[in-house]
A and B are shown apart, each in its own frame.
Chain A
Amino acid sequence: QKEVEQDPGPLSVPEGAIVSLNCTYSNSAFQYFMWYRQYSRKGPELLMYTYSSGNKEDGRFTAQVDKSSKYISLFIRDSQPSDSATYLCAMSPVSVGTDKLIFGTGTRLQVFP
């Protein structure tokens, strides 16, 4: 079993839709949770990060962490064609010296006009 599971998609939605992207994980030591956006043939771009459980909002993006269920989500409101990309969740334990990131496989999102 992989430490981080993510549905690879593809997920295809119309412009303006609310998108929900999710990851589950098995390692209870994970404390930092990040979402990256990666356009085709580019490096990952950090979108949001959260520490421990709770919600965090930034513009059209909302990140949620439920540590009791080992489940994290990224919501995109009013989705735009420019949001079409692969979305990667990443996680890390809190201990210094073990701060490598563990990634999901990524979910490919396509927003059509």
Chain B
Amino acid sequence: DAGVTQSPTHLIKTRGQQVTLRCSPKSGHDTVSWYQQALGQGPQFIFQYYEEEERQRGNFPDRFSGHQFPNYSSELNVNALLLGDSALYLCASSLAGQVITFFGQGTRLTVV
């Protein structure tokens, strides 16, 4: 059973550029959440997608957007990258209405 898979593993972007990160949820899961984890910090909730709609959103600017596809996979887009966006971006999946959440290995984004 494949768990949560993310791509790419690492990414280096220049300030001002745009980036797209991808995620496939654990088999059988229909809800995808994205988290940002800065070095030495716990993950911070960005947003959650269910039935292709954004259901919840954390305290992140509109530069952060996402999408969920009919097969439940998801993308995270970040526009106008800032140096402070450098972090580990984690995708997590769960079943709707259940809190138990599984994480992918993350995409490490470095903005230079």
Contacts and interface: CB of A to CB of B under 8 A. Distances in A.
Contacts of B105: 42-43
Contact of A97 (B56, B88, B90): B56
A45 interface: yes
B2 interface: no
Interface residues of B, number: 30
B101 A101 contact: yes
Nearest to A92: B99
Given A8-B40, A103-B42, A45 B103 contact: yes
Interface size class of A (residues with CB under 8 A): 20 to 34
Interface in B33-68: 33, 35, 40-45, 48, 55-56, 58
Given A92-B99, A96-B97, A100-B33, A44 B43 contact: yes
B25 interface: no
A97 B103 contact: no
A17 interface: no
Contacts of A43: 4, 6, 90, 103-106
Nearest to A45: B103
Given A100-B56, A104-B42, A46 B106 contact: no
